[in-house]
Structure 1
Amino acid sequence: MTTPQTPILEARALTRSFGNVRALDGADFDIYPGEVVALIGDNGAGKSTMVKALSGSLALDSGEILFNGSPVDLDSPTAAADLGIETVFQDLALAPHLNAAQNMFLGREKPAKGILGRLGFMDAPTMRKESQAALDMLGATVRSLTDPVGAMSGGQQQAIAIARAVAWAKGVVFLDEPTAALGVVQTRNVLDTIRRVADNGVAVVFISHSMPHVMEVADRVQVLRMGKRVATLEAKKTSMEELVGAMTGATVGATS
């Protein structure tokens, strides 16, 4: 890919402490439109804290976040969503009592046309049709669009959460361990979808412990260790051994 000069999303010197624990300690991050960046690090490296900060779910102690080169205040998930930033967290953030289509359009419901819409009725057929299209793009199959998602398997719930994020993301989508609960076929579909989303100009942040998946799908890999970015490496020019070495501190990779 040809890298533009300005990142769509950039973090500079982010810090965040939880009591005596410094989860982020001057951490940096950047990603460009249409790029897949894998964010990796050992447990406690600061990945989840970074994702929450950049998706508007966590306040920072200090640091600066820029979107398309301009400083922004991501003080809520709504503020992030308004910029086209969507996130799939490990807990999926689905409403278990609602069905797949209702979860897909949660907070973005489509009112019915005419008087029914003015009376508060939703356009359920359209929401089901568009939800099915989003799931089809992912290559995912769910048992029913009208059953509560709480009664579905973990893999089906994961697929719904990913399809929702991909459908609404216009700038950046964060996928935190998106293949963790999936089988082989669904995992293949998710990895293929990540590349398709990036090819359409959306930046994808891929957080994963699976080094083979990272090597396959990422353009660049950014490594966090002890709350700091310690390496930025081109996926095609690195190895799993080098990535693991950067994660553990055994080696230091090329930094940006």
Structure 2
Amino acid sequence: MSDASAGTTVLELRNLGVHRGGVAALHRVNATFRAGEITCVLGENGAGKSTLVAVLSGLLRPDEGELLLGGRPVTFRSARAARAAGVATVWEDLAVAPLLSVWRNFFLGAEPTRGVWPLRRLDLDAARETTVRALARVGVPGIDPDRPATALRAGERQSLAIARALHFGARALVIDEPTAPMTIAQHTVLAEAVLSARDEGLAVVVVTHNPRYAHLIGDRFLLLARGHVAGDLTRKDVDADVLLRLMAGGRELTALTARLRALHPELDER
């Protein structure tokens, strides 16, 4: 990542609102996601995390406010449109097509070919070699590209999707962290891939329920509570223990929100 691109705003939410049956799933949410930075989105069930992922990934259009990509307002009408614009989402359960090989999962319809029409054919060697190199790039070396994706462990499946996003030029990466139990080794594999994406200059958004894991990999922390932004913090603002207590909500989260608004009156205008 070049110094010029580091810290550049890739995605921005301005007064974003989503309503579900008269209830605000997201209410006047403001957030900025920058190149070369990992933002961890935390909150209890019902806080609005899934709705935020749906908006960023193109599955849901906001009812009010704006989503900006590279400083320009955008409207994603589908997940495909979001991917085409450079916003890739790694879903918890849909990171791979389990019955396909690793290399076919990597390309998914964009397989390399050689020769000219009408003799053009699939370049299997290039497909396999590219897949192996791309996985090694995100910290998963030595994978047999012909093995079925079902043989991949948790963490490796998400890493494959991250490697694919990097290879095809994503600008932003949204990761719906697995809620299923993962071993330390599996968390490590996923963390290496996430950090690789950050180091390649992507704006990375990780939705997680684990504050200690978030503090380990995150540069910023966006705390959601009942659809509102309850905190927008950096690693300098909080340590892992404070982040854990804030996730529990209650008086500490209320006090944090009040303090932030006292220090930054402009928050009341958002």
Normalising by structure 2, what TM-score? 0.81
2:60 to 48, 58, 61: 58
**Please, which moves more after superposition, 223-232 or 169-178?**
169-178
Q: Deviation of residue 94 (structure 1)? A: 2.3
Match of 1:111 in 2: 113
Aligned 8 A contact 1:215 1:236 in 2: no
Matched, 1:77 2:85: no
CA distance 1:29–1:3, shift in 2 (3 Å)? farther
SS in 2 for 1:238: coil
Q: Deviation of residue 38 (structure 1)? A: 0.9
Distance (Å, rounded) in 2 between the aligned partners of 1:192 and 1:94: 18
Aligned 8 A contact 1:96 1:148 in 2: yes
**Please, which moves more after superposition, 137-146 or 193-202?**
137-146
Aligned 8 A contact 2:5 2:201 in 1: no
Q: Deviation of residue 114 (structure 1)? A: 2.4
**Offset from partner CA, 1:106-163 (integer Å, 9 cap, x none):** 1422233324664xx4222212111111211233268642233245444443332333
Match of 1:226 in 2: 226
Match of 1:96 in 2: 98
Q: Give the count of matched residue pairs.
A: 254
Letter in 2 for 1:174: V
CA distance 1:138–1:232, shift in 2 (3 Å)? same
**Offset from partner CA, 1:48-89 (integer Å, 9 cap, x none):** 110121121222222200112111112222222223211111
Letter in 2 for 1:193: A
Aligned 8 A contact 1:14 1:60 in 2: yes
2:11 to 4, 9, 14: 9
Letter in 1 for 2:123: D
Matched, 1:199 2:199: yes
Q: Deviation of residue 44 (structure 1)? A: 1.4
Match of 1:31 in 2: 33
SS in 2 for 1:126: helix
Map 1:235-246; keep pairs closer than 5 Å.
235-246=235-246
Distance (Å, rounded) in 1 between the aligned partners of 2:83 and 2:245: 35
CA distance 1:152–1:170, shift in 2 (3 Å)? closer
Distance (Å, rounded) in 2 between the aligned partners of 1:125 and 1:114: 17
Matched, 1:159 2:192: no
CA distance 1:105–1:179, shift in 2 (3 Å)? farther
Match of 2:21 in 1: 19
Aligned 8 A contact 1:56 1:74 in 2: yes
Aligned 8 A contact 2:95 2:158 in 1: no
Distance (Å, rounded) in 1 between the aligned partners of 2:184 and 2:245: 28
Distance (Å, rounded) in 1 between the aligned partners of 2:68 and 2:161: 26
Distance (Å, rounded) in 2 between the aligned partners of 1:191 and 1:116: 44
Distance (Å, rounded) in 1 between the aligned partners of 2:176 and 2:122: 31
1:41 to 28, 40, 43: 43
Q: Deviation of residue 2 (structure 1)? A: 9.6
**Please, which moves more after superposition, 10-19 or 163-172?**
163-172
Q: Deviation of residue 10 (structure 1)? A: 0.3
Unaligned runs of 5+ in 2: 262-266
**Identity between Structure 1 and Structure 2 (%):** 33
